[in-house]
């Protein structure tokens, strides 16, 4: 039997969350922070307690060498002030510079402006990611926030089932996924996320860019998916806020009804997961 994190939700557990699908303003930190401020205001007015942005929201993604230069500046302080001014938590996508390396990161910022956790994208996709970023070397952090356990992954990370399974086994109720999914990978947003949610009985909030940026054309199609693989809210294209309510009790009930995690036999898979890659890969 797989080991599941022994956690019981506090009485205050229902949480309304929001996700900001947007084209953003590539390379213009000030404009993106202005958009973040407006989105936080709208989300909070609708009762949301958490806003999730896109991957590298603060700077843009396909902006060339500027992403490294901007990573060396203070991108978090103004975002922390925005979170505080609206009394809302953030999962914020931004580049991060640390000890000579640049990371594609997501930060969990609480309404007091404290950074509770960071995730550094641990699976880099393609030449663009690898040109500018160093991969993170840790699994998704799981934050216990207001009775909901929240994990963070970034874009390509969620396409590896091991990442989401690790978060579920660590007791996560929700996986927040800032993303920058481009053509021709619409099927990831349309199909794979529902599978990830179902096989782990977990909420997934997948928040994507839309429109064109540099050489990329983003597919939009952001969505928030329930543990039963039901799409609770989605946006095909355009700038839009998504909303849904996360209920840890729903997660517990789903895991009782569909006991994949309880029935999992990790003893069969751990050796293969550590095996040397086939040289053809």
pLDDT tens digits for range 83-125: 999 999 999 999 999 999 999 999 999 999 999 999 999 999 9
For residue 165, the domain's CATH number is 3.60.110.10
Provide the 10 A C-beta neighbour count for residue 145. Answer: 18
CB 143 within 8 A of CB 117: yes
User: Given this model, what pLDDT does residue 6 score?
Assistant: 41
Q: Does any domain span residue 4? A: no
User: Given this model, what pLDDT does residue 9 score?
Assistant: 41
Distances (CA, A) of 77 to 21, 74, 81, 272: 22, 6, 6, 43
Residue 55 appears among annotated catalytic residues = yes
Which residue among 40, 49, 121, 213 is the active-site one? 121
Q: Does any domain span residue 274? A: no
Range of the domain at 187: 15-263
Q: Does any domain span residue 5? A: no
Q: How many domains does the chain divide into?
A: 1
Provide the 10 A C-beta neighbour count for residue 278. Answer: 6
Q: At 76, phi and psi to the nearest 5?
A: -85, -35
Which residue among 40, 155, 159, 213 is the active-site one? 155
User: Given this model, what pLDDT does residue 267 score?
Assistant: 84
Tell how far CA 64 is from the center of its chain.
23
Q: Does any domain span residue 211? A: yes
Which residue among 35, 49, 55, 159 is the active-site one? 55
Q: Does any domain span residue 129? A: yes
For the question of whether the overall pTM of this predicted structure is more than 0.75, the answer is yes
User: Given this model, what pLDDT does residue 278 score?
Assistant: 54
Q: Does any domain span residue 185? A: yes
Q: Does any domain span residue 236? A: yes
pLDDT per residue over 235-259, tens digit each? 999 999 999 999 999 999 999 999 9
Q: With a cut of 70, list the residues of the chain below it in pLDDT.
A: 1-12, 270-281
Give the pairing type, strands 89-98 and 101-109.
antiparallel
Alpha-carbon torsion, ordered 56, 59, 64, 67, to 10 deg: -80
Q: Does any domain span residue 175? A: yes
């Amino acid at each position: 039997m797989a080991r599941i994190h022994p956690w019981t939700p506090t009485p205050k557990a229902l949480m309304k969350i929001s996700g900001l699908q947007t084209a953003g303003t590539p390379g213009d930190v000030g404009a993106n922070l202005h958009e973040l401020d407006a989105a936080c205001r709208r989300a909070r007015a609708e009762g949301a307690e958490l806003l999730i942005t896109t991957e590298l929201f603060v700077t843009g993604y396909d902006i060339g060498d500027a992403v490294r230069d901007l990573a060396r500046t203070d991108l978090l302080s103004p975002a922390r002030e925005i979170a505080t001014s609206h009394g809302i938590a953030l999962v914020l996508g931004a580049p991060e510079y640390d000890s000579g390396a640049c990371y594609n990161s997501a930060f969990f910022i609480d309404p007091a402006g404290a950074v509770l956790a960071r995730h550094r994208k641990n699976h880099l996709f393609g030449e663009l990611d690898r040109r500018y970023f160093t991969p993170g070397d840790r699994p998704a952090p799981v934050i216990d926030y207001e009775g909901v356990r929240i994990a963070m992954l970034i874009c390509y990370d969620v396409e590896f089932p091991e990442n989401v399974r690790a978060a579920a086994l660590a007791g996560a109720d929700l996986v927040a996924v800032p993303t920058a999914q481009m053509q021709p990978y619409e099927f990831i947003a349309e199909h794979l996320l529902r599978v990830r949610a179902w096989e782990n009985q977990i909420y997934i909030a997948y928040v994507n860019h839309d429109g064109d940026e540099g050489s990329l054309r983003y597919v939009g199609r952001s969505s928030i998916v329930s543990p039963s693989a039901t799409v609770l809210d989605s946006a095909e294209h355009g700038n839009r806020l998504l909303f849904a309510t996360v209920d840890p009790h729903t997660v517990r009930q789903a895991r009782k009804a569909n006991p994949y995690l309880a029935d999992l036999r990790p003893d069969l898979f751990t050796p293969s997961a550590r095996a040397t890659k086939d040289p053809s890969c």
